[in-house]
Amino acid sequence: MIDRTSNLLGVVGLAVAGRIEDSAREILKHAGETPAALVVIGYGLGPTNDQLRRILGLSHSGTVRLIDRLVKDGLVKRREGRDKREIALYVTKRGKTLREQILKERLAAIRPLLIPLTGAEQETLAALLHKMLSSMETTDLQRRTLCRLCDNRVCSNCPIPADFQAEA
Look up the domain containing 31 and give its range. 2-146
CB 30 within 8 A of CB 68: no
Nearest in space to 113 (alpha carbons), one of 18, 29, 24: 18
> What per-residue confidence (pLDDT) applies to 49?
93
Q: Which residue has the higher pLDDT, 111 or 158?
A: 111
SS3 137: coil
**Is 153 within the bounds of a domain?**
no
> What per-residue confidence (pLDDT) applies to 153?
86
**Is 154 within the bounds of a domain?**
no
**Is 100 within the bounds of a domain?**
yes
Least reliable range by pLDDT among 14-18, 85-89, 124-128, 153-157: 153-157
Work out the pLDDT band at 30, boundaries 50, 70, 90: confident
Mean pLDDT computed over 20-38: 92
Is residue 62 over pLDDT 80?
A: yes
**Is 140 within the bounds of a domain?**
yes
Residue 93: count of CB within 10 angstroms of its CB: 8
Is residue 165 over pLDDT 80?
A: no
Residue 17 belongs to domain with CATH number: 1.10.10.10
pLDDT averaged over every residue in the chain = 91
**Is 83 within the bounds of a domain?**
yes
**Is 17 within the bounds of a domain?**
yes
Mean pLDDT computed over 51-63: 95
Is residue 129 over pLDDT 90?
A: yes
**Is 6 within the bounds of a domain?**
yes
DSSP symbol at 64: H
Structural domain count, the chain = 1
**Is 158 within the bounds of a domain?**
no
Model's pTM, two decimal places?
A: 0.88
For the chain, the residue count is 168
Mean pLDDT computed over 97-124: 96
Is residue 166 over pLDDT 90?
A: no
